[in-house]
Amino acid sequence: MPDLLLELFSEEIPARMQAKAADDLRRMVTDKLVAEGLVYEGAKAFATPRRLALTVHGIPARQPDLKTERRGPKVGAPDAAVQGFLKATGLKSLDEAKIQRDPKGDFYIGLIEKPGRDAINVLAEVLPVIIRTFPWPKSMRWGARSGKPGSLNWVRPLHAITATFGLETEEPDVVKFEVDGIESGQTTYGHRFLAPAPISVRRFEDYEAKLLEAKVVLDPERRKDAILTDAKQLAFAQGFELVEDQNLLDEVAGLVEWPIVLMGSFEPEFLKTPDEVIRATIRNNQKCFVVRDPKTGKLANKFILVANIDATDGGATIIAGNERVIRARLSDAKFFYETDLKTKLEDRLPKFEQIVFHEKLGTQAERIKRIERLAAEIAPLVGADGPKATRAAHLAKADLLTEVVGEFPEVQGLMGKYYALAQSEDASVAAACEEHYKPQGPADRVPTDPVSVAVALADKIDTLVGFWTIDEKPTGSKDPYALRRAALGVIRLIAENALRLSLMKVAGSALAGLSVKPADASKLPSDLLAFFADRLKVQLREQGARHDLVDAVFALGGQDDLLMIVRRVEALGKFLDSDDGKNLLAGTKRASNILSIEEKKDKRSFDGAPDAALYSLGEERALAKAIGEVKAEASAAVAKEDFAAAMSAMAKLRPPVDAFFDKVRVNDDDPKVRENRLKLLNEIRSATRAVADFSKIQD
């Protein structure tokens, strides 16, 4: 079957837009093909700085013919209705229609035949529409046509459109169409400097090969591999190792069509500046990689750049130009760093009194005082030194006012650590200045130093309680204050450090430190706890655990010790994976279902202890005895926080529950016996609630 080759050749496309643009092009074209009845075999899109390209193979040469039936008016309907039916179906007379019998009467049925069109004609119709409606985040108009209504908007001026369609064994045809004066054809262009001449292409294999000859590597993944391999080899040859940076690699691969890796250097004196500042300077300003000395692990005074041209001088001019810019930028960074060192962190804090954190939550200075107080309260709960936690909370935000962080916001916290160490603060205090922001995502490291943990928890809980108090909760996909991330951070800090603390007590302390109070203070703890439950479900689901088990544990109420909840969920999950667990769950669900039906019917609940004198069958007595024993044993195990033992106790219920449902008729004719047996079923439900609410567990 024929293949499509489409290329949209333009001025440079911003690197950050290329990957999505390629995916959008593939999606839009293939969706339209399928909608037109042209089911293809495969498609792949590519992007370089100057082009979007798409190949779709295995497209049918022609649309299938369509036959549809259209129901018309009743036999004997007015002539106007009949004429409208004939016109709509294209029939010449009613003799060409069928009659279909129906309970409501006989109706005319018209068969409409729509012959399929050649795929190349369909493409010529749909491709211009796709180009005109392409979803660039930012686009522009240009040239003389830009003033005319309906002129093309594109990310950068579009110069040429290549569109061919045909079998692999034949000369392909051009898909002929025009967009804003640009006619489709089979001519593209190579590298802007190394091979700018026009190139005539036929199909994708020919197109990709000719571009490679013209110094254009079409596939972005191939460009990334080439850059990474060459950069590693160049660094190794000089006795260094590359500091890999995937985001920078993605960006650089979108800046070049013919990557040439080169190495430059800068003065060793700049290495007195922290490594992270050097890296941020070189990365942000020149899109270059840094290298380190494998012996010391410290950065070397070298950098790796990626050029888009194989220069005749071996890249000497390009290297010199980059060195000149990097030298100036590093000089600025060094000046900022040395200037920052002249002012102590605490001397910067008064300025926070003029900086508003949130109009309803006060200034940054007020927030820092809240975090200090809360960190001091949390410190003994996590094994941290109280004065150190207070000191760390006092200084943790100060680096936000430094010159380096103002220039490179991504190093906030880290610079706080460097400045704290420079002014001889305790190592734990300095570490907390950096680590109190962590973890910032599922892949981020969780602090383990108790001082860092105390300040990190205080910072995140103050944020959560504060925004909950002023009713700025996340809604749908909107979470402008990153409260979901803060809650996940609290969960990871507690779980991965095996911390025992009451979330609601800590949240209550945070609430007490706020000058603003919620409209309904009694509702805030349970509402916030439900939010933590949702985040915990997300966390456990990512780890492969069942989220319904979290609901089953939280449903017991009064559960705000996240570590114990996680351990109980883990034990419950293992229990339910066993045969005893599965069968007990089934029995408990059966008991709950029967109770729900009978409670609804009788409009009452069946609480209270069953009357042992009304037991007439051995299975009733055996179940009642087992429930009493299991309740006591499971409750004692839960009190000792031995959840595995509690689950083992629950397993003893399985045989008597199975026997009860096998031998006992719950809805006995004697009303007293029926009520007593329903109370016994309620005891099953009550017994299992020692470990979880089994009604919340999915089958």
DSSP 360: T
Q: Do residues 546 and 529 make contact, with C-beta atoms less than 8 angstroms apart?
A: no
Identify the pLDDT of residue 542: 80
The stretch 367-388 carries a mean pLDDT of 97
**Tokens standing for residue 62:** 């022609």
Identify the pLDDT of residue 144: 84
* Beta-sheet pairing, 182-185 with 158-166: parallel
How does pLDDT run across 630-654, given as a tens digit for each residue?
989 988 998 888 988 988 988 888 8
Identify the pLDDT of residue 377: 96
* End-to-end C-alpha distance for the chain, whole angstroms: 48
pLDDT surpassing 80 at residue 521? no
The stretch 354-380 carries a mean pLDDT of 96
CB-count burial class (<10 Å; 0-12, 13-18, 19+) for 276: middle
How does pLDDT run across 122-157, given as a tens digit for each residue?
999 999 999 999 999 999 999 888 888 889 999 999
Identify the pLDDT of residue 406: 95
What are the φ/ψ torsions at residue 614 (nearest 5 degrees)? -90, 0
pLDDT surpassing 80 at residue 559? no
Give the residue among 237, 235, 168, 178 at the shortest CA–CA distance from 202.
168
State the Cα–Cα distance between residues 561 and 558, nearest whole angstrom.
9
Q: Average pLDDT of the chain?
A: 92
Q: Do residues 85 and 72 make contact, with C-beta atoms less than 8 angstroms apart?
A: yes
Considering only 65-74, 170-179, 184-193, 573-582, which range has the smallest mean pLDDT?
65-74
Identify the pLDDT of residue 549: 87
Residues in CB range of 205: below 8 A, 6 or more apart: none
Considering only 260-274, 426-440, 521-535, which range has the smallest mean pLDDT?
521-535
Identify the pLDDT of residue 232: 98
Name residue 47's beta-bridge partners: 52
How does pLDDT run across 592-636, given as a tens digit for each residue?
888 889 888 888 888 888 999 999 899 999 999 999 999 899 889
**C-alpha 491, offset from chain centre:** 18
Identify the pLDDT of residue 1: 84
pLDDT surpassing 90 at residue 97? no
* Beta-sheet pairing, 187-189 with 182-185: unpaired
How does pLDDT run across 662-671, given as a tens digit for each residue?
988 988 889 9
DSSP string, 658-699: HHHHHH--SS-SSHHHHHHHHHHHHHHHHHHTTT--GGGS--
Q: Do residues 683 and 564 make contact, with C-beta atoms less than 8 angstroms apart?
A: no
